[in-house]
Amino acid sequence: MVYQYFNNKEVKDRLQRAIKNIGHELSEKNIEFVTGAKNVDLKPYWDEFMELKLKKVKSNGVNWITKKLDEAEKDFEKLKKTFKAALDDKLEEEKDKKYDKAKVEKEIKEEDKLFDKLKEDFDDVQKAVDDKKKLMLTLTGAKLEAEKKNLEKLKEPLYEAEKKMGQQRRKINKMTSDGLKDLIKDVDEDLRLIAYFKTKTAAVKMPASK
């Protein structure tokens, strides 16, 4: 995380040294020495600027992250509500005497076959990505840059393959009450992670300017 980087002792020390050195350059004594101008002291303005700047870096980042977490939380709560309604309907359906469990299990097996095919497609793209990364470790210069571009082209196919695989798994889960319960558990885990990241975000700190 960016804020962890800023609070790394070495990085923080370098930042504070840089701020201090620039402050020295803008001090009344140094300005008079360099330019001959008297009674010109810009250091207080520099110190005030950097203090406000670091606070702004924190607030801008925290506000953006919080907004995105709130949006995600809202989407997951909506999804959970949808799954819960589907679960209620599925439980009623499974109680019905006309419910054909064997037929559903057969349909699930067919959907599982499709999932396995999508998993193979995903694995193929993932292997291509891994192979590119290994190859890049042996390259330099123009060849390395060319492979970076080739690797970039694989990002979209990898994302689409993973997306299709997830959609198919969700489709299968929706076919039974147990599967829907698993989906709700997954959403609860996502919501737990969002709550965790909200806590971490609220505790974010930037180093002092001096």
* Separation between Cα atoms, residue 182 and residue 173, nearest integer Å: 7
SS3 state of residue 8: coil
| Any domain includes 209 | no
Tally of domains within the chain: 1
Q: What is the CA radius of gyration of the chain?
A: 28
What tens digit of pLDDT does each residue of 50-83 get? 999 999 999 999 999 999 999 999 999 999 999 9
Domain that includes residue 46, residue range: 2-202
DSSP string, 44-112: HHHHHHHHHHHHHHHHHHHHHHHHHHHHHHHHHHHHHHHHHHHHHHHHHHHHSTT--HHHHHHHHHHHH
What tens digit of pLDDT does each residue of 116-170 get? 999 999 999 999 999 999 999 999 999 999 999 999 999 999 999 999 999 999 9
* Separation between Cα atoms, residue 155 and residue 3, nearest integer Å: 27
What's the pLDDT band for 209 if we cut at 50, 70, 90? confident
> Measured in Å, how far apart are the chain's first and last C-alpha atoms?
22
pLDDT at 180 over 90: yes
| Any domain includes 52 | yes
Tell how far CA 107 is from the center of its chain.
36
- Which two structure tokens, joined as six digits, stand for 116? 């396995």
| Any domain includes 84 | yes
| Any domain includes 148 | yes
What tens digit of pLDDT does each residue of 15-33 get? 999 999 999 999 999 999 9
